[in-house]
């Protein structure tokens, strides 16, 4: 397991395009082809994972099923925020079609969890200096707890930088003309599509 630091920058579409172009001029290079990401987040009946995230409690988790186009290649991922840092575990799931996504999963910390929010977006991957940078746009949220599906298309974008735990935060921020911001797609999506929270 390798711990990492993550820094997120919440941007308007205009700032998003400007920053991406400026970093390309400074030497940022594509790492992978862009792709559409689908993440189905699971949570307890009372949204305890969401609440722990909002409160900043440690340790906490996010449990999701993620796939890139083909549902048959979906993975169950657990994002863990601990006192030591952040890391992610992933294991390949065996689904044949979207309708067979599980009604519930079990987590040792939170117990039984069920579908809460579907998040879909486009991600571009780059590398710059010692940083891995992703640009997420066209973000759409769909609440899975309401009797009628409620969806929301986000007008904002997010850039995320991932580095090892040993990299100085000042080094990361020296390249960025914007302030870091909290941008949890799960938390933001629930707040934008739910009247209960």
**pLDDT attached to residue 154:** 95
**pLDDT attached to residue 164:** 79
**pLDDT attached to residue 1:** 53
Give the start-to-end residue ranges of the domains of the chain.
Answer: 4-193
The DSSP-derived string for the chain is ---EEEEEEEE-HHHHHHHHHHHHHTT-EEEEEEEEEEEEEEE-TT-HHHHHHHHT-SSEEEEEEEESS-GGG-EEEEEEE-SS-EEEEEEE---SSGGGS-S-EEETTTEEEEEEEEEEEEEEEEEETTEEEEEEEEEEEEESSSSS-EEEE-S-EEEEEEEETTS-HHHHHTT-SS------HHHHHHHHH-S--
pLDDT in tens, the chain (197 residues): 567 778 889 999 999 999 999 999 999 999 999 999 999 999 999 999 999 999 988 999 999 999 997 787 889 999 998 888 788 899 887 766 655 688 899 999 999 999 999 999 999 999 998 899 999 999 999 999 987 878 999 999 999 998 877 777 777 777 777 777 778 999 999 999 986 66
Check if CATH label 3.20.100.30 holds for domain 4-193: yes
**pLDDT attached to residue 98:** 57
């Amino acid at each position: 397991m390798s711990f990492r630091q993550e820094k997120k920058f919440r941007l308007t579409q205009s700032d998003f395009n400007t920053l991406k172009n400026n970093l390309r001029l400074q030497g940022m290079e594509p790492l992978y082809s862009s792709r559409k990401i689908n993440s189905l987040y699971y949570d307890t009946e009372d949204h305890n994972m969401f609440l722990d995230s909002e409160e900043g409690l440690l340790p906490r988790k996010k449990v999701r099923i993620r796939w890139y186009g083909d549902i048959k290649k979906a993975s169950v991922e657990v994002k863990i925020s601990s006192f030591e840092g952040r890391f992610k575990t992933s294991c390949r799931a065996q689904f044949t079609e979207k309708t067979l996504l599980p009604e519930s999963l079990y987590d040792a910390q939170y117990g039984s969890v069920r579908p809460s929010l579907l998040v879909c977006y486009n991600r571009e991957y780059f590398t710059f200096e010692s940083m891995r940078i992703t640009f997420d746009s066209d973000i759409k949220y769909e609440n899975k707890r309401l009797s009628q599906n409620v969806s929301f298309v986000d007008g904002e974008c997010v850039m995320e930088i991932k580095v090892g735990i040993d990299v100085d935060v000042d080094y990361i921020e020296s390249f960025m003309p914007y302030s870091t911001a909290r941008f949890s797609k799960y938390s933001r999506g629930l707040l934008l599509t739910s009247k209960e929270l």
